[in-house]
């Protein structure tokens, strides 16, 4: 539980202040803060179990424990919501989210924000613009941008709404059949915001009144600018860092969210050995490459890999579709929302699989068609080691759809 004690920063001695800042934002304090913040995500997920939990890349990936994480993630960029820089990005259209919303009629998206803010711009503006544009495109909205009134001013809201018609025109002229993409959705996309100030136990059914809730959950507690916060996690105390996972390339030293969650107890067992252990884990992962890599076939958009190349959620950050040629399945990849993007072929390993490999080719070719014919999409074909069954299926797809020059 929280035991916040605020202290005014020491500004008389620059050296002391600088040392305190370094101590506050050490790897140990960041990871401990992330672990603490994740408890809030667990509570929200438990209160709203009907909705899948998706991390907003990149920061949000750290805050979602693997056992409650969806196989997929989203990418709503805060810079697309910066004041007077509002955008609806076709590069970040997040159209895969509609497969999830069709199945679950809503979702939870997790992110965090730095000190001094209650939520990131990705939540307060980027996602509201996204919802408004798609609502107009689907003829279920008139361009109103729903925003949190305590974060976004009336003036800024009005300026964003003036841009929505232009964003819709860009969407309509993109040359892609988005009507099919959004087909089957029933309801108006509506952003909902959940912060640490909310009473989680009072969250009711958010999908009422013909709406599809896009629930934006900010993991981090809001800390006033220039404050130091001593927090407790169990019997241990540490210095809390709001938005601890932000800019992880500057502090994580190669540590990834997956490695953190796999070894969290070891990493947080001792403040003095945390960074050393993180370095050892990263080094071990770099040397342990068996079955984990993938390679694209020439200049095509088909990659062949081993089992862990198809591990969620990482695989969905790189690939648009996955064909598993008989490797043990990751449970999250069997999500109903992924059925149009994930194909499992029950092909035994070695000689026992020769007959089944031949029987599986037709289905694999049919599944791969819409992905290989779109150069903007990437298809992963994998088995356990990336050297046998996946190679055979890939060759069949290449022979069907690609010419001698490697072009579809």
Which residues touch 10 (CB under 8 Å, ≥6 apart)? 16, 17, 20
Q: Is the pLDDT of residue 271 over 80?
A: yes
Residue 89: count of CB within 10 angstroms of its CB: 17
Backbone angles phi, psi at 69, to 5 degrees: -80, 140
DSSP state of 230: E
Contact criterion met (CB below 8 Å) for 221 and 233: no
Q: Tell me which residue has tokens 């080719």.
A: 361
Give per-residue burial for 309-319: e unless 16+ CB within 10 Å, then b.
bbbbbbbbeeb
Distance CA 317, CA 54 (A): 12
Q: What is the pLDDT of residue 394?
A: 96
Distance CA 277, CA 326 (A): 35
Q: Tell me which residue has tokens 């939990």.
A: 53
As given in the structure block, the two tokens for residue 299 are 């200049």
Strands 379-382 and 302-305: parallel
Q: How confident is the model at residue 18 (pLDDT cuts 50, 70, 90)?
A: low
Distance CA 398, CA 387 (A): 16
Residue 67: count of CB within 10 angstroms of its CB: 8
Contact criterion met (CB below 8 Å) for 32 and 233: yes
What one-character-per-residue DSSP string does 290-342 give?
TTT-EEE-TTSSEEEE-GGGG-TTHHHHH-SEEEE-SSPPPGGGG-GGGTTTE
Task: Check: pTM over 0.85? Answer yes or no.
Answer: no
As given in the structure block, the two tokens for residue 36 are 């603490």
Q: How confident is the model at residue 176 (pLDDT cuts 50, 70, 90)?
A: confident
Q: Is the pLDDT of residue 190 over 90?
A: yes
As given in the structure block, the two tokens for residue 78 are 């805060």
Distance CA 260, CA 281 (A): 9
Which residues are registered as beta bridge partners of 236?
233
Q: Is the pLDDT of residue 402 over 60?
A: yes
Give per-residue burial for 93-111: e unless 16+ CB within 10 Å, then b.
bbebbbbbbbebbbbbbbb
Q: What is the pLDDT of residue 14?
A: 57
pLDDT tens profile 293-309: 899 998 899 999 998 89
Q: Cα angle vertex 172, ends 169, 175, to 5°? A: 130
Highest mean pLDDT among 57-71, 123-137, 194-208: 123-137
């Amino acid at each position: 539980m929280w035991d916040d004690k605020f202290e005014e920063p020491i500004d008389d001695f620059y050296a002391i202040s600088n040392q305190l800042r370094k101590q506050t934002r050490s790897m140990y304090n960041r990871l401990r803060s992330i672990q603490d913040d994740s408890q809030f995500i667990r509570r929200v997920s438990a209160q709203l179990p009907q909705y899948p939990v998706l991390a907003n890349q990149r920061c949000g990936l750290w805050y979602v424990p693997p056992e409650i994480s969806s196989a997929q993630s989203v990418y709503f960029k805060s810079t697309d919501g910066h004041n007077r820089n509002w955008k609806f990005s076709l590069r970040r259209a997040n159209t895969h989210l509609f497969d999830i919303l069709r199945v679950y009629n809503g979702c939870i998206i997790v992110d965090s924000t730095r000190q001094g803010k209650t939520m990131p711009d990705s939540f307060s503006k980027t996602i509201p613009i996204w919802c408004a544009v798609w609502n107009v495109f689907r003829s279920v909205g008139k361009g109103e941008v729903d925003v949190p009134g305590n974060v976004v001013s009336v003036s800024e809201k009005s300026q964003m709404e003036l841009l929505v018609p232009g964003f819709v025109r860009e969407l309509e002229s993109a040359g892609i059949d988005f009507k099919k993409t959004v087909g089957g959705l029933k309801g108006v996309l509506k952003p909902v915001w959940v912060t640490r100030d909310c009473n989680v136990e009072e969250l009711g059914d958010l999908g009422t009144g013909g709406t599809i809730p896009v629930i934006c959950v900010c993991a981090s507690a809001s800390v006033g600018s220039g404050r130091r916060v001593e927090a407790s996690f169990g019997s241990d105390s540490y210095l809390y860092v709001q938005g601890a996972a932000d800019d992880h390339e500057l502090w994580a030293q190669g540590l990834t969210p997956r490695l953190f969650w796999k070894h969290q107890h070891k990493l947080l067992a001792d403040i003095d050995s945390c960074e050393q252990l993180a370095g050892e884990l990263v080094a071990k992962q770099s040397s342990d490459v068996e079955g984990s890599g993938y390679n694209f076939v020439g200049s095509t958009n088909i990659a062949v890999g081993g089992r862990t190349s198809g591990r969620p959620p990482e695989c969905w950050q790189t690939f648009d579709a996955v064909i598993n040629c008989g490797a043990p399945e990751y449970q999250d990849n069997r999500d109903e929302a992924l059925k149009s993007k994930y194909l499992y072929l029950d092909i035994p390993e070695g000689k026992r699989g020769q007959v089944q490999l031949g029987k599986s080719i037709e289905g694999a070719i049919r599944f791969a068609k819409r992905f290989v014919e779109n150069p903007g999409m990437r298809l992963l074909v994998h088995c356990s080691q990336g050297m046998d069954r996946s190679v055979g299926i890939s060759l069949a797809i290449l022979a069907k759809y690609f010419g001698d020059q490697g072009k579809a």
